[in-house]
Amino acid sequence: MSKTTRRTFLKTATVASAGYFVAAGSRQALSRSPNEKPNVACIGVGGKGGSDSSNASKFGNVIAICDVDRGTLESKGKAEGFQTAEQFTDYRELFAKHGKNIQIATISTPDHMHAPATLEAMRLGISCYTQKPLTRTIYEARLLAKVAKETGVCTQMGNQGTALDSSREAIAQLQSGVLGPVKEVYVWSNRPVWAQGPDRRMTMEKFAEQAKKENPEQAERIVEAKKKEVERALERLDWQNWLGVAPKREYWPGLYHSFQWRGWWDFGSGALGDMACHQVTVPFAACGLRDPSSVVAKTTGHDYDSFPASSIIEFEFPETPERPAFKFWWYDRKGNKPPQEVFSKWGIENVSNSGAMIVGEKGAFYSSDDYCGKYELKGVEKVKVDFESAENKGNNDLNNMYELFRAVAAGDPKICVSNFIDRAGPLTETILLGNLAVWAAATGGANGEMGDWGEKVQWDAKNLKVTNLASLKTPHVADLVKPTYPQGYRLD
């Protein structure tokens, strides 16, 4: 475990942060010998962070690992490739001690901590592999792209489907104009596979009240047992660092850590944020899904704390010199799909549980999985196209990671297809706009059914502004655009 004390860290963090941009200047366009492995730090080593850190260890020398869960941290530290890595529960302490010696960082935390950790790394001149969605809020996505450009570091988002040849070929096919002008885009997902929906927050006070109602004779014993369970969990979990930039709230076993955080507004980005960075990659790159002008949604209802169980979102894209105006539709929850006639017109009857459909004037594109691992063109034939394959290291997850290491070795951020500037940042901005509409559609229908359409959010993408904010009745919409970080964390 780290011997850096919190008191020592707090004394030095401000001084260290003042030199971030200075340090970055000498490390732009880093070029290394092909035989020299870069030093790596891994922030978040459980869940997807388990595979991200393992993948990074195949190409780099992991010198430090960080996770707020000490059980997860210590388990990873025993694995091959991690036994000499110093262990931390606070990534800021890790960077304060090792930042000057790290070339690459993987960031695989809950969504709300992607931006804080990635910003700190890039400002130290460290290249970053950050999980999807790139950020929890739109402004953070714009800022990560800006800082990546300023520092010259190499960046890659963890949407591993980007490294599939089928995905890259599909983009090239669509960019050739084989479908003709795009008319509509549809994407649907079987997520969430975690809990979402209103009235789920639990506290000890609420638990005690329920226990008194349900079992008054045993209520005191039940509450004391739960208190001990919480105390045991917090002995191994650094809850304050888990919360990070999020508002304070009481820890509750199984409700947030280690997987259910995805369904909470403060920590995750719902089914849309979780899967759209995968599923929308091909339509985004091929059809120009940048700078939507408005977004509106209908949902099964939420309480501004937990995401709804299901939603439908309509994005409007204005005409540009490159493409006509069209709409993009998003559907989440298993069985919640576009109308069957959208598919039947093209001879598709057994629609996949997750997928994407692009309808053009001449034909249609249909992908039946999350990453565009396979696709079909309907009504038109494929044309001959050229595209650059990812270097094959065994699977698309490894290939996507290796692309970052290859970029760092070459000193060329453009090698990374899902870099923050050209792909990951703008893609994440578009996707997260949908959650503004979900926020503004809090009223669901009866018995868990879809409610009516919520308030439409008009959007100025260039300036990241809700242009009709003053007329919206929904509160706090702007808070989903740009967050406020507490003391100890740096946004701007």
Q: Is the pLDDT of residue 6 over 50?
A: no
Q: What is the mean pLDDT of residues 191-214?
A: 97
Give the pLDDT score at 26: 36
- Residue 212: give the domain boundaries: 204-254
Tell me whether residue 312 is in a domain.
yes
- Whether 154 is in a domain gets the answer yes
Average pLDDT value for residue range 351-380: 97
Q: Same structural domain for residues 312 and 460?
A: yes
CA distance 332 to 426: 21
Verify that 83 and 176 share a domain, yes or no.
no
Q: Is residue 422 part of a domain?
A: no
- Kindly state the greatest CA–CA separation across the chain: 75
CATH number at residue 300: 3.30.360.10
Sign of CA dihedral 365, 369, 370, 374: negative
Task: Let me know whether 287 and 314 are in one domain.
Answer: yes
The percent of residues above 70 in pLDDT, for the chain, comes to: 93
CATH of the domain at 82: 3.40.50.720
CA distance between the termini of the chain: 31
At residue 36 the predicted structure's pLDDT band, cuts being 50, 70 and 90, is confident
pLDDT exceeding 90 applies to what percent of the chain?
92
Amino acid at site 42: C
C-alpha distance from residue 466 to each of 230, 299, 378, 443 (Å): 41, 21, 38, 21
Indicate whether 412 belongs to any domain: no
User: Number of folded domains in the chain?
Assistant: 3
Closest among 269, 319, 267 to 113, alpha carbons compared: 267
Assigned token pair, 131? 């999980």
Indicate if 287 and 236 belong to the same structural domain: no
Question: What is the average pLDDT score of the chain?
Answer: 94
- The answer to whether residue 414 sits within a structural domain is no
Residue 24, helix vs strand vs coil: helix
Whether the predicted pLDDT of 197 surpasses 60:
yes
Any domain includes 155: yes
Q: Does residue 453 share a domain with residue 314?
A: yes
> Which pLDDT value is given to residue 33?
53
Q: Return d(Cα 256, Cα 242) in angstroms, integer.
A: 10
Arithmetic mean of pLDDT, 64-84 = 98
Residue 107's nearest CA partner among 137, 123, 127 is: 127
- Single out the residue in 104, 136, 162 at which a domain terminates: 162
The residue written with tokens 């009481």 in the block is 250
In angstroms, rounded to a whole number, what is the distance separating the alpha carbons of residues 323 and 236?
53
Shared domain for 51 and 154, answered yes or no, is yes
Asked whether residue 276 falls in the same domain as residue 321, the answer is: yes
Taking the C-alpha atoms of residue 484 and residue 284, their distance in angstroms, rounded to an integer, is: 29
Whether residue 16 has pLDDT greater than 50: no
What's 389's DSSP letter? P
Q: What is the pLDDT of residue 25?
A: 37
Would you state the pLDDT for residue 5?
44
Distance from CA of residue 239 to its chain's centroid?
A: 21
Query: Which residues, 6+ apart, have CB-to-CB distance to 64 below 8 Å?
Result: 41, 42, 85, 86, 87, 88, 94, 97, 98, 102
Instruction: Outline where DSSP puts E strands in 258-344.
Output: 294-299, 311-317, 326-332
Q: Is the pLDDT of residue 28 over 80?
A: no
Instruction: Assess whether 287 and 371 both reside in one domain.
Output: yes
Residue 286 lies in a domain: yes
Q: Are residues 347 and 455 in the same domain?
A: yes
Structure tokens, 250: 């009481």
Give me the helices (H) in 131-191, please: 138-151, 165-175
pLDDT at 34 over 80: no
Considering only residues 29 and 310, tell me which one the structure prediction assigns the higher pLDDT.
310
pLDDT confidence band for 160 (50 / 70 / 90): very high
**Looking at residue 433, what is its pLDDT?**
98
Question: Average pLDDT, stretch 327-355?
Answer: 98
Q: Are residues 286 and 240 in the same domain?
A: no
Rounded to the nearest angstrom, the gap between the alpha carbon of residue 73 and the centroid of all alpha carbons in its chain is 22
**Residue 143 pLDDT > 90:** yes
Q: Are 340 and 375 found together in one domain?
A: yes
Say yes or no: 180 and 328 in one domain. yes
- Is 402 a domain residue? no
What predicted TM-score, i.e. pTM, was given to this entire model?
0.93
